A = this chain, B = another copy of it.
Amino acid sequence: MKSCGIIVEYNPFHNGHQYHAKMAQELSQADVVIAVMSGNFLQRGEPAIIDKWTRAKEALSHGADLVVELPFAYAVQSADYFARGGIKLLHALECDSLCFGTDDRSEMDYQRFGAFVKDHQTEIDQQYQTIKNNGMSYPQQMTEVFRKIYPENGLNFSTPNHILGLSYAKENAHYDKPMVLYPLKREQAGYHDLKIHSRFASATAIRQAVFANELSGIRQVLPEQVSKDLEQAAIVSWENYWPLLKYKLISSSIEELQEIYQMKEGIEYRLKEAAKDADSFSVFIEKAKTKRYTWTRLQRLATYLLINVSQQEIEASWRHSHLHVLGFTEKGQQYLKEKKKTVSLPLITKVSKTLNDRLSLDIRSDQIYRLGNTAISEQNFGRSPIRLP
């Protein structure tokens, strides 16, 4: 069976995502669409608005045939590591192609770009060394590096989806049998676009409407099932976890904070100070924000803190990757049967206590996720993959 992968978050699932899954199948002519999806904590350092099982179910009813969880150690990361995890899991599943959205307006050849980076890594690193202290942001610096050594394409690293596309291409090129890449241009609704368009809207706009309790205005951009889930399922935002994060910052010593992954350069002092009088997560981040520490970077740090995760734990999780299957359609199940003897990472369809060590970070992050809303059910033990006809 032929497969096409997509790397997703679905926070929440909307019509644009359904279009993406449908186009992945059409462009690749694959038999199954495999979604590697972030679990309960997301790339930008946020708790998912709805839990991973609900989002997996929505995905399976709207174009995906198999949903596999991207582990925490890859999911809550900047583009490069996020892409590394997604591509790794898809390769382990012997996926033939990858379809991803892009904000890029040019006709760039991602496959060729990936191969170029693979062959010129030393040159890129050298070029980066010459400008790394120029005060620009990392995306700006990368744009600069590639303008010099790869001028054929006017690369722009400043829109999130385009950066992800470039990261996918780079990662993919490192494998012996790279997947075929299908970039999909976003027709409407850019990443940060806050307006609700006719049938499409950005996930950001949708979340704002949900938290403002204005679901009626966004029904037309969501599948009916998702509207229902957003009304009935337990939803959370960072604010639900703010009391816990504040407690963590107040109760931990500076030395303990320094044990947290990515906590360096003295930001621990700044976070501890900002927590003292902040009575909401957004006030806290506004207080802590600097030019160097952007909202997203701080949110990721806040997530590492909330989950109490160390460098060693992230690295251990990278070493022990796995494929936690959240659900499948009949076709997806057939695909798994066909591949299960050759997949290159452990396939987990049921989390048992014996997996405690291998999955410790993921299990703990889900236990803490549940503290945000008492209505969130157990996320691992005793749960079988969702099976849709």
Contacts and interface: CB of A to CB of B under 8 A. Distances in A.
Interface residues of A, number: 20
Interface stretch (A1-9, A198-206, A367-375): A367-375
A252 interface: yes
B250 A364 contact: yes
Contacts of A276: 367
A244 interface: yes
B247 A368 contact: yes
A251 B374 contact: no
Contacts of A139: none
A364 B307 contact: no
Contact of A251 (B243, B246, B279, B308): B308
- Identical subunits present: 2
Interface in A260-299: 276, 279
A246 B307 CA distance: 13
A341 to B, nearest CB: 36
B250 A367 contact: yes
Main SS at interface, chain A = helix
A250 B368 contact: yes
Interface core residue of A247, A253, A276 (most chain B CB under 10 Å)? A247
A248 B245 CA distance: 11
Interface in A229-269: 243-244, 246-248, 250-253, 256
Contacts of A243: 243-244, 371
Interface string A302-316: 000011100000000
A323 to B, nearest CB: 25
A368 B368 CA distance: 19
A250 B370 CA distance: 11
B279 A246 contact: no
Contacts of A279: 374
A246 B308 contact: no
The 8 closest A-B pairs by CB, nearest first: A251-B308, A244-B247, A250-B367, A247-B371, A251-B368, A250-B368, A243-B243, A252-B308
23 contacts: A243-B243, A243-B244, A243-B371, A244-B244, A244-B247, A246-B371, A247-B247, A247-B248, A247-B368, A247-B371, A248-B251, A250-B364, A250-B367, A250-B368, A250-B371, A251-B306, A251-B307, A251-B308, A251-B364, A251-B368, A252-B308, A256-B308, A276-B367
